[in-house]
Every structure is written in C-alpha cells, then in structure tokens.
Amino acid sequence: MSILVDEKTRVIVQGITGRDGAFHTSQMIAYGTKVVGGVTPGKGGQKTADGVSIFDTMAEAVAETAANTSVVYVPAAFATDAICEAADAGVKLVVCITEGVPVLDTVRVLPYLRERGARLIGPNCPGIISPGKCKVGIMPGAIHMRGAIGVVSRSGTLTYEVVDHLTKSGFGQSSCLGIGGDPIVGTNILDALELFAHDDETDCVVLIGEIGGSDEEEAAAVIAKGYPKKVAAFIAGQAAPPGKRMGHAGAIVTGGTGTAAEKIAAFRAVGVDVAAIPSEIVDLVKHLVPSRGAKGARRGA
C-alpha cells in the first residue's frame, strides 16, 4: 500500500506554467508520477515542454483526465481559490506547496474541502512521496527508497536529511509526508499517524516534529492508548529562544508552551525514543525493526 499517493494517483498541476510549477512538473514526471494535466487560466489548449495538456479550469482538467489529485504551485494570494477549485472539481487530494497563505484562509478552506470529501496537505509543505510509485511535491526523489518506514514531518529539508540517513542505512520508506510549517494545516501529525496505522506496508513511523503547537503532545497521547506501529521521533528547535518565530509560521514557543523539551518529554513518557541528532534516527529504527533494513532492500526496486 503506502498512504495517499501510489501508482493510481493521477495528478493535475495548478500553476503549471509558473517557474516552480514548470520545474517540478518535469521533476515529478521524471520520477514516474502520472501528471495528467495542468491548469493555468488563459493558457488552456496549450501543452508544456513535457507534453502535458494545459486547461483553463480544474473542472475541464478533471473531466478530461479523470485526475484524482492536484498539486498547487500558484502564488499565495491565489492559493485559496486554487485549492477550492480543485475540491469543487472533484479531486480528493489537494497538495498545496505554496508558502505564505494567510492562516485564516486555510481555516476557511478546510470545511469547504471536508464537505466535498477532499483532503488538503499543506500549505507551505514539500508534499508527499511514496517511493518507487509516485511523488507529488518538491522533494528530491533520488534520496528515497521503497520500504517500510513511514515518515511524517513538519519540515522539508530536515526530512530530506533524515530520509537520506534512512536510505543509506537500507531503511526504505512506505510514504514520506511533509505536512507543512504553518500553524494550521490540512493534514496534521495525528491525521498522518491514523493513515500510517492502516497501511500494511508501514512497520515503523518516523515522526519529525518541531517547536510550536501541541501536535506532538497529542500524538504521544494517541500512541499511549495503543498504536499499531513502532514510532521513533526527532524534535527540532531545542536551541530556539521563546517568543521568536523560527522561519515556519508555526514554529514559535508562546507562553512557555510548545517547547522542544516538553515534546521530547511527552514522547519519552509513552516509550517513544527521541533522537538527539537526525542521524540517530537510524539507530532508533534499527532497534525498533531490526529485520527491516534487509527487507526494505528486498522490496526496493
């Protein structure tokens, strides 16, 4: 299995003719993702350099291509509209890469998507990859390998760092989901844990959290009640001063809550080991699923 994206995923790129949209469309196609169309209003009927058909609207694009997923690269001021347009057109998974979407816009679109049975990943996220099957987003495909480790993270490049260590040690991944660095995101750590819990291919979940909010503490509470997969964690931001936003809009310690120390303590209290540095994740995973390095390598192709 894997979660949310696989061989059956058919992707429309919203903002396909923009700089980032065009570049990552090529990258996704090179990885093997089925990019079945793109949308840029006013450019319908044309094709991209990769030969992808461009449509004016999501409704047309979905009707023509039977797409089930969209990825949004449009600028922040138009992202909300693009997300809603995708859901309205019947797409069930919308991945919003765009950074800088007003938080209240995200708040407003979530019920709209829920009514239409659609899920949002992001905004301000690297996207999702199920190695060897499909990549919807901006992560470098080459560092991933198919296997049994599910990865969920609030960060982009830090996830690459961890995934790189995992792959080099023979631990492939079922899916890697970057949920995004905003305070409000469509799919949070708890949602990801729920998805991985029901995924046959995932044996162990690597959870990469950071300061701000209480997703990690709530995840620890869920794990304490009995979670079917092994979990290892890393929390970024131990050296972060309080009251300062650390890049991500959601990465801020306010009123003494949301600190790395609290999150680490919450995990340790429920028996989840927390790596001190990113490379240590590999040691934790080795300990949790000793046979997986070899099995992951066998599955990988």
Partner 1 sequence: MKIQEVDARAIFAKYGLPVPSSRLVKNAEDARKAAEEIGCPVVVKAQVLVGGRGKAGGVKLAATCDEAAVKAKAILGMDIKGITVEKVLIARAVDISEEFYVGMVIDRRSRKPLMMVSPAGGIDIEEVARTSPEKILKVVIDPAFGIMQFQLRRMTSALSADKEIAKKVGGILASLYRAFMAVDASLAEINPLVVTPTGEIWAIDAKIVIDDSSLYRQKDAAGLRDESAEERGEVEAREAGLSFVKLDGSIGCIVNGAGLAMATMDMIKHFGGEPANFLDIGGSSSPDKVIAAIKIILRDRNVKTILINIFGGITRCDDVALGLIEAKKQLGLDIPLVVRLTGTNEDRAREILKGTALIPAATMEEGVKRAIKAAS
Residues identified as active-site: 248
Which of 76/197 has CB closer to partner 1? 76
Which of 97/195 has CB closer to partner 1? 97
Q: What is the DSSP letter of 274?
A: E
Q: Distance between CA atoms of 123 and 72, rounded to whole angstroms?
A: 9
* 22 touches partner 1 (CB under 8 A): no
- Binding marks (x or -) toward partner 1, 215..244, rule CB under 8 A? x--x---------------x-xxxxxx-xx
Q: Are strands 134-137 and 127-130 parallel, antiparallel or unpaired?
A: antiparallel
- Positions 52 through 71 that interact with partner 1 (CB under 8 A): none
Which of 88/218 has CB closer to partner 1? 218
Which of 143/284 has CB closer to partner 1? 143
The residue written with tokens 């090529």 in the block is 26
Q: Distance between CA atoms of 85 and 169, rounded to whole angstroms?
A: 42
- Binding marks (x or -) toward partner 1, 135..174, rule CB under 8 A? ---xxx--x---------xxxxxxxxx--x----------
Per the CB < 8 A criterion, the answer to whether 69 and 5 are in contact is yes
- Positions 254 through 283 that interact with partner 1 (CB under 8 A): 255-257, 260, 276-279
E-assigned strands of the chain?
Answer: 10-14, 34-39, 54-55, 69-72, 93-96, 119-121, 127-130, 134-137, 146-153, 173-178, 204-210, 230-236, 273-274
Copy the structure tokens of residue 197: 């819990």
Which of 145/148 has CB closer to partner 1? 145
DSSP reduced 3-state for 77: helix
Q: Which of 193, 251, 284, 285 binds partner 1 (CB under 8 A)?
A: 251
* 49 touches partner 1 (CB under 8 A): no
Q: Distance between CA atoms of 122 and 264, rounded to whole angstroms?
A: 24
Q: Can you give the binding site for partner 1, defined by CB under 8 A?
A: 19-20, 76-77, 100-104, 106-108, 110-111, 126, 138-140, 143, 153-161, 164, 181, 183-184, 188, 208, 210-211, 213-215, 218, 234, 236-241, 243-251, 255-257, 260, 276-279
